Copies of this chain bind each other. A is one copy, B any other.
Amino acid sequence: MTVSKTAEKSSEKPGEAAKGRKDAAEAQPEALQLGELSEQLGYVLKRAQLKVFENFLRCMASLQLTPAQFSVLLLVEKNPGRNQTEVASTLGILRPNFVALLDNLESRDLCARIRSTNDRRSHILVLTDKGKAVLTRAKKLVATKHESRLNELLGQANREALLGMLSKIANEF
């Protein structure tokens, strides 16, 4: 016994409390109820992450830096002289996928690959002068346009609490 492949006429579901409804037959869209979905951490986490990345890209439009590119510049600045494998794996990027990313940054003269003399198989990564300058500007944009909006929205204390919990999940879950 399968479901009949034809639906009932309209206005068959007045249940669920007809709250947002206008006068009578006005057939405006009427948003769906998220229900348990809004309690699913994974769902909310993903939606929040998309919003944050979207805002990041807008804030960085003038420098044309993606979140991934920014993270590479930050990490290479903090750890100059490390090779591709080390930097990529720290960021959770697979070595094959790191090649094109680096090609891009190097072609824009933001960072450089230097063949190591210790182990001629590996490429040491460093920021160029331009890379350092761009990163400095990027940090300012992130601080003044991006993170500041988050502080506005959540408050300084909450933002730090949020960061702590997310770090805990990222590291221990």
Contacts and interface: CB of A to CB of B under 8 A. Distances in A.
Nearest to A36: B74
B112 A3 contact: yes
A39 B87 CA distance: 18
Given A52-B169, A79-B32, A170-B48, A124 B41 contact: no
A116 B10 CA distance: 9
A74 B169 contact: no
B114 A5 contact: yes
Interface residues of A, number: 81
A156 interface: no
Contacts of A80: 13
Contacts of A90: 31-32, 34
